[in-house]
Amino acid sequence: MPQIELRNVGKSFGTFIVCHDINLVIREGEFLTLLGTSGCGKTTTLNMLAGLEEISSGDLLLDGVRANHLAPTERDVAMVFQNYALYPHMTVARNIGFTLKMRGVSRDEITRRVTEVAQSLELGHLLDRLPSQLSGGQQQRVAIGRAIVRRPKIFLFDEPFSNLDATLRVRMRAEVKDLHRRLGVTSVFVTHDQEEALSISDRIAVMRGGVIEQVGTPEEIYLHPATSYVAGFIGNPQITLLSGRVQASSGQLSVVSGAAELPLPPDADVTPGQAIEFAVRPEQVQPDPKGHPATVTSVQPVGAATHVGVMTAFGPMVASLPRFARLNHGETITLGFEPAHMLLFDATTGRSVGRRPIPVRKERTGS
């Protein structure tokens, strides 16, 4: 399976620039997700990989060979679209095998490969049905089967689960992840859903405004966001970034925000007088009798936890507390967190200025 490399790749439509100098290496056999909001350039990037959009500047390399000039059929990629793109007058079997037929593969070989793919996707009993007779999840599996049957070197997925309900989305994530484990094909997946990206990816490239903000594993993206944008975009519930200014007293760094002063990690890459933004992941904010007074502004039970919005002396925060926490709007509680858990960013550049790894909180286990 090939390695994909984008070197200073850009895309523009006239004077409108969609993607700016994208540099990205997608490793052989890797499952990488392009994650971002609508209009960030992720689908355009995918289309340039597929050959559906011309590259305006820079180079696309497949296994080290420049591929800008190659037609889509010469890149040996298979694409799964958001709208499935099935032929409504063809049965499941004919939809899956159509690309093989167009390539002149023998009828017996088409039948063998279609049957094999259908069985792996639990579609064997549906081969004689039309797309209109299938559920949304079944239609999506047919679209995936049509891509698999070609045995391409690269899979491209363009928001393939957007039209499915929540339950089917979760199931399809698991199926695609298992499929990648079995086939090991280099895959690029596009989504705006950060939960989806975190659950299925080997690595994630977070895009914003046509540029890549950060590339890393799901753990790196979540625990060590490179920018304030990534920190705010990744995570549920979303964090609230607070503003403050660094000061030093008796060798201790702290941030002054609102009516509060909070200690900073000793290895934070900041200087006295520097304007910064900071936040703490909700699961790192916990009840603490010696903590900060906080007024409850919202209570949202979500099953495994309760997301509690609070107002503190340094600004609004969210705490993810044990399930069914019995709190009332307007109630005063005390919450605390370790300085090492703080995410720190320069207020001007948005770049991370925190160095200490953020520990993953371990849940208690009962006997």
Same domain? 67 vs 179: yes
The domain spanning residue 276 has which CATH number?
2.40.50.140
pLDDT at 355: 63
DSSP result, 84-132:
----TTS-HHHHHHHHHHHTT--HHHHHHHHHHHHHHTT-GGGTT--GG
Q: What is the pLDDT of residue 137?
A: 86
Whether residue 221 sits in one domain with residue 240:
no
- Same domain (yes/no): 135, 248: no
Q: Is residue 273 part of a domain?
A: yes
CB proximity list for 225: less than 8 A, separation 6 or greater: 214, 231, 234, 343, 352
Ramachandran region of residue 350, left (φ > 0), alpha (ψ -120 to 50) or beta?
left
Residues 246 and 282 in one domain: yes
Which of residues 1 and 300 earns the better pLDDT score? 300
Inform me whether the pLDDT recorded for 366 exceeds 80: no
The pLDDT of residue 360 = 42
Residue 1 confidence class, pLDDT cut points 50, 70, 90: low
The Cα–Cα gap between 342 and 104 comes to 60
- Answer whether residue 47 is part of any domain: yes
Could you tell me the pLDDT band of residue 364, with boundaries at 50, 70 and 90?
Answer: very low
| pLDDT exceeds 70 at position 363 | no
**pLDDT value at position 357?**
45
Q: Does 121 share its domain with 152?
A: yes
**pLDDT tens-digit map of 235-252:** 999 999 999 999 998 888
Rounded mean pLDDT of 135-151? 90
The predicted structure's pLDDT at residue 193: 94
Assigned token pair, 88: 């409504």
| Residue 178 shares a structural domain with residue 300 | no
Over residues 25-35, mean pLDDT: 97
Mean pLDDT of 91-102: 94
Q: Report how far apart the first and last C-alpha atoms of the chain are (Å, whole number).
A: 47
| Range in 157-166, 255-264, 295-304 the model is least confident about | 157-166
Share of the chain above pLDDT 70, in %: 96
- Could you tell me the pLDDT band of residue 335, with boundaries at 50, 70 and 90? very high
Q: Which domain holds residue 260?
A: 233-346
Tokens of 256: 């002054």
Report the pLDDT averaged over residues 116-131. 92
Mean pLDDT of 205-223: 96
Residue (of 4, 103, 83) closest to 46 by Cα position: 4
| Average pLDDT of the chain, as a whole number | 91
Question: What CA–CA distance (Å, rounded) separates 21 from 28?
Answer: 22
* Segment of 79-83, 172-176, 313-317 carrying the highest mean pLDDT: 313-317
Q: Is the same domain home to 122 and 261?
A: no
Q: Supply 177's token pair.
A: 């992840």
* pLDDT at residue 362 is higher than 70: no
Shared domain check, 188 and 107: yes
How many domains would you assign to the chain? 2
Average of per-residue pLDDT across 81-105: 92
In this predicted structure, the answer to whether residue 365 has a pLDDT above a threshold of 90 is: no
Report which of 143, 164, 136 is spatially closest to residue 79, judged by C-alpha positions. 143
Tell me, what's the pLDDT at 310? 96
Task: Evaluate the CA torsion angle 323, 329, 333, 336 in order and state its sign.
Answer: positive
To which H or E segment does residue 309 belong?
strand 305-312
Q: Is 57 helix (H, G, I), strand (E, B) or coil?
A: strand
Q: Are residues 174 and 296 in the same domain?
A: no
3-state secondary structure 171-211: HHHHHHHHHHHHHCCEEEEEECCHHHHHHHCCEEEEEECCE
- Rounded to an integer, the average pLDDT of 215-232 is 95
pLDDT above 90 covers a percentage of the chain that reads 77
- pLDDT tens column, 266-307: 889 999 999 999 999 999 999 999 999 999 999 999 888 999
Q: What type of residue is 256?
A: V
In a domain, 358, yes or no: no
pLDDT at 165: 84
Residue 352 has pLDDT above 90, yes or no: yes
* CATH number of 126's domain: 3.40.50.300
Q: Tell me what the mean pLDDT of segment 121-150 comes to.
A: 92
- Rounded CA-CA distance 171/167 in Å is 6
